[in-house]
Structure 1
Amino acid sequence: MNEFHGKRIVVLGGAGFLGSHLCERLLREGAEEVISLDNFITGDPRNVAELQMLGDFLSVRHDVTDPIRIAGPVDYVFNLASPASPIDYAQLPIETLRVGALGTENGLRLAREKGAVFLQASTSEIYGDPFVHPQREDYWGNVNPIGPRSVYDEAKRYGEAIVMAYHRTYGVRTRLARIFNTYGPRMRLADGRVVPAFVGQALRGEDFTVFGDGSQTRSFCYVRDLIDGLARLALSNVTEPVNLGNPREMTILEFAEAVRAAAGGGGRILFTPLPKDDPKQRRPDITRARTLLGWEPRVSLEEGLVETLAWFRKALAVRAPAPLVEFNEFARM
């Protein structure tokens, strides 16, 4: 896949977990320039510290809820800007709603101005605690609009609505990716999600903390596979939502045992109360991705956990921050 060769690409939220992997993929495919915009509330400049060695990469500190002005052509705009873990959006509820609404529209305005393709990173959370299993893209979901997770769920649902509004009203070439649980290097160890939580506990020899009785299910997609799905979707002509995730489903207890096996150890299982509105089942139907994009996950959980654990073992090592450009300075370039 080399269709990004020679393209100028903007990644909103480019210093985050997924955003940094996407920037890396685009540079390795020969993009002419990749520009990351990130305010670093949850992103980390160290995630993109070494990307300049791969090509023309610029990391810009900017809050995408403010207007985005970029000189010159832009071929693609990827919107991955948002807090994405329960801890983050519990601590940043207003910021989560604003980036889902204002940030998404600012990215759409940029895409419309430049005639660029706009890809929205949506989420499986739009399905809420689903009554349909596995979840297909034509399922409208079961979401509590005023619950503790609602700021993220509804921000993403609104994001899909405004993406389709810009597509229908202005003809913007839009893509919608509904991303299921994804894991891999560059996740934050203390971000509250189950993968870094279990990995950190295993590496420290601590007990595993499991919400509820551990019977709730999830599916885990390795980040390399997920980024490949985003790339294929961006290059396609598919405007309807597409699930991207791994259909291999397991209980949280089974996942804890998989982490224990990969880490070579770990403590007991400790059970804590299940958070309100926590989904009891989560598995994507990826028929649409297979049919329209020729995509499906290839990295096994066992292989992905080995790579993830190796990265987390080095997570405390000092990584040099990437050179930053403030947005006001960048806008004058």
Structure 2
Amino acid sequence: MRFSVFLNARAMRPEDDRKLIKDLETHALKARDAGFEAIFMPDHHFNGYMPIASDSFIFAGYLAAKMPEMYFGFSVVSVPLHHPVRFVERINILDQLTDGKLLVGVGSGTTPEEMIGFGVNYAESKDVSERNLDLAEQLWAKTMDDPAIEIANGPHQGRVLQRIAPVAYTKGHAPLMSVAMKEASTRRAGENGWPAFIPAFTPPKIGGTEPFKHVEKYFTAYKDVLTSSGHDQSTIDRALGWSTHTYQCVHVAETDEQAREELEVILRSYQDAIEREAEFNARAESDDANKKTDRTPDALSEDWIGTWCLYGSPETVIEHLKPYQELGIGNILCGTTTGPLTDERLRLGNQTLDLISRKVMPGLEG
């Protein structure tokens, strides 16, 4: 079982942005030294979200130069917000810079506020996403002599005459990791031999206290497609080895009591940030084309904690993860900097890196 770090920290004031960027760089280097195998980044925009996430491709390229042995991933790229040409070009450049150690999570986006900033209606985001992915595949396959590719997809327009440069390092292109929730996304990942994100809930409820039953359902469906699609064993092993279950907040302490107490401090600050952002989300949802149909539970509720958090002493965390390891989940993605990144929050995140490295990883070997 692999462990990866998710750099999902927020800044609450413009004057904190630079410090957050430098602190996350240091945290990523600590994760490398602690034995984590990949650094994943979000793709978010506006609203005091996450300063590195406004162009996490750039940040990934910067970190890749400092940590050439690491894998880099995105959880996830909001496909409707990216022109398909720029989407393909950036992925190819990072694929080259990382020598193929790139995992590109893809999704249709999260908030109407982000959509309207790029001229996309939230109600149309899934269709724009699917068409962008189809266009990306055409662009990856295009040679110099092929006919022009016409792009007419919502705000994304264009006509591509030549090939995309640079060419991908990986045969075809870097793997696109979808969330294995719907049949189409599960089939895309499995049939292409790509890893997938394995969710712990089933909409319309985005949370709950029985995450494993959902993980088992989605992982089994994904694995069935992957293993029945005619791939060689090395492709199957690589895909399963990077099949990813994500915890938005991971916190480990010496005792369960300490971990729960510190977790609640982290989540209270995180929820405060979410509530501050709610006003802007409400403005974005002022018309029917940008209404969200699902709602995430309060971060301090047991439903949110049960689905999105991993916490406790090292012994408790090991026992929690053993069923996931036995199921075959290859990668645990750990949100170790969730919420506003104060000095205290960073200390707690580094504490988690240390305890996972020294106690949890060894406890899951063999």
- Give the TM-score category using the shorter length: 0.3 to 0.5
Which structure's CA Rg is the greater one?
Answer: 2
Q: TM-score if structure 1 supplies the norm length?
A: 0.36
Q: TM-score if structure 2 supplies the norm length?
A: 0.33
Between structures 1 and 2, the one with greater helix share: 2
